[in-house]
Amino acid sequence: MSATGESVTRLIDSGSYPSWSPDGSRLAVSPGAFLTPTDVSSTALGLTIVDVKTAQAHAIAAPIRIIQPAWSPSGARIAFWTVKSNRGQRDIRTIAADGSDAATMGVAVTDDPAVDWNPIWSPDGKYLYFASTRGGTMSLWRVPIDERSGHVLGEPEPIYTPSTWSGYMSFSGDGSRLVFSALDYRSAVLRSPFDPVREAITGPPVQILKSNQPIRDHELSPDGKWLAFTTLGVQEDLFVASVDGTDYRRLTDDMYRDRGVSWSPDGSRIAFYSDRSGSYELWSIRSDGSALHPMTTNTGNPGFPVWSPRGDRLAFGYSSWHLIDPSKTSSPGPPGEPSPGVPEGKRFMPGSWSAGDRIAGIVSADNAITLDVAVYDLATHRVKLVPGDLARSPRWIFPAWLADARHLLVRRSEGIAIVDADSGAGRLLIPIGGLNVGHSLGVSRDNRWISYTETAAEGDIWLATFRNGAPTR
């Protein structure tokens, strides 16, 4: 549309983070979206180039996820960030704008454990700026680069900012000014009393803990006395805290990304997934931090682990899903292996296992952002979508069974709903604002408590002015 809002024209039906070509005739569009740099909602590959006048689009095929494309000032190359398929590593790369080196994934700009994202070119094409955790916080960096070839000409150097989380940059046309966002995320875990017979909240929420960083996943222990959770940020570690606030333990403290906590039914162990072996695999640990050991090999991207009620099986999956014996270290097969009962072109991620041997989870497609709650029946080996609007969301959604094996609690962006898994009938139980990420819903074994996270984000826009090639605030 025009800068004043007229002449709105649809170009393509889906895509994210469009970047103008230097002459304004085309857009580079990413097929994938993300909520935060460590949470990417799509595994779609490649890139789409759209002609702005004709709306004709053509795909640049690449065996890699291309996120936040940024066209170089000369039009020669497109920078982007990507996620390595079997690891949590986020890196910056560039490809030729004509796609000539896309098949080989272009040229690497970074290749290290830091979270690197949001690449933008300086208007003179001499530097590639990006956001990164390489300095210990999410800050801004730049690296000298040859715009034509994409080859890096030196080491990354920091751009100092007044925030521990900086990103979403944009340059003025003459390169003299840079704007960026400074964000601060904080989470609290609360629990609300619930009557499963009346299907009603019976009192005000009680705060279990408050964190000065975002909480990604959490789950109440089977006896209801403990809370396991993981953080989201520069470090993603695993913690355990008592629900009465008398004890707080850090179980991991390292560079690896630990996610998707799940208590074993007897409360003896916590399963989670982590990239600590070089790729994402399932691991387990005791609640005192001892006996850390791997549960799987060769899965690539296992997703949330889900215990069976008897503790004799474990369901997990993202690109494909599997059932394993949790007492043995398993190698269930490569990520592309067909999953039972999942329609072609779809993927099913388990989220909760009912007493009636039905597994609730999320169904999605690589080329769609919409997520649907679905149920896999272990007797029929079929996946069935839960009907109704409450079981579908254009953003993150997560289900948890109630003890009757019929009703689901569904965490949505606007709050927590109760939904009949067969009919789809339901209503909103708990309105919640803020950010909804990961496994942010829990329920006690007796169904008397519902736990959830509230994550608030505060932000500022900063303007940096460059003098003699260096930014000043």
Quick one: which of 261, 333, 343 has its CA closest to 301?
333
> What digits encode the pLDDT tens for the residues 166-208?
999 999 999 999 999 998 888 899 999 999 999 999 999 999 9
Domain extents for the chain? 16-175, 184-458
pTM: 0.76
- What's domain 16-175's superfamily in CATH? TolB, C-terminal domain (2.120.10.30)
Q: How far apart are CA 441 and CA 245, in angstroms?
A: 19
- pLDDT tens readout for residues 335-384: 444 456 777 777 888 999 999 889 999 988 755 567 899 999 988 888 89
Phi, psi for 156 (deg, rounded to 5): -60, 145
CA 140 to chain CA mean position, Å: 21
Task: Give the confidence band of 321 by pLDDT, cuts at 50, 70, 90.
Answer: confident
Considering the chain, what percentage of its residues have pLDDT values greater than 70? 94
CA distance 307 to 352: 8
pLDDT in tens, 249-302: 999 998 888 999 999 999 999 999 998 888 889 999 999 999 999 998 877 677
CA distance 437 to 412: 10
Mean pLDDT (whole number) for 222-240? 89
What integer is the mean pLDDT of 114-118? 93
The DSSP code for 342 is: P
Among the ranges given (46-60, 93-107, 300-314), the one the predictor scored with the smallest mean pLDDT = 300-314
The mean of the pLDDT values for the chain is 88
- The answer to whether 413 and 395 are in contact (CB under 8 A) is yes
Q: What is the pLDDT of residue 367?
A: 55
Q: Is the pLDDT of residue 87 over 70?
A: no
The class that CATH gives domain 184-458 is mainly beta
Lowest mean pLDDT among 162-166, 311-315, 458-462: 162-166
Name which of 25-34, 246-255, 317-326, 349-358 the model is least confident about: 317-326
Angle (nearest 5°) at CA 174 between 173 and 180? 60
Q: Is 20 in contact with 51 (CB distance < 8 Å)? A: no
DSSP state of 391: G
| DSSP designation for 254 | S
Per the model's pLDDT, the better-predicted residue between 232 and 259 turns out to be 259
Token readout for 33 is 């979206």
Confidence check: pLDDT of 153 > 50:
yes
pLDDT, residue 337, reads 47
Segment 397-437, tens digit of pLDDT: 999 999 999 999 999 988 999 999 999 999 999 999 877 77
Of residues 299 and 239, more confidence is placed in 239
Please provide residue 234's backbone torsions phi and psi, each rounded to the nearest 5 degrees: -60, -45
Token look-up 């769609």 returns: 368
Residues 6+ apart with CB under 8 A from 3: none
128 close to 143: Cβ distance less than 8 angstroms: yes
Whether 232 has a pLDDT exceeding 50, the answer reads yes
Quote the pLDDT of residue 338. Answer: 47
Q: Do residues 231 and 216 lie in contact, with contact meaning Cβ atoms separated by under 8 Å?
A: yes
What tokens does 96 get?
Answer: 């030729």
pLDDT, position 108: 95
Confirm if 82 and 94 have CB atoms less than 8 A apart: no
For residues 461-470, one letter each, b for 16 or more C-beta atoms within 10 angstroms of the residue's C-beta and e for the rest, the string is: eeebebeeee
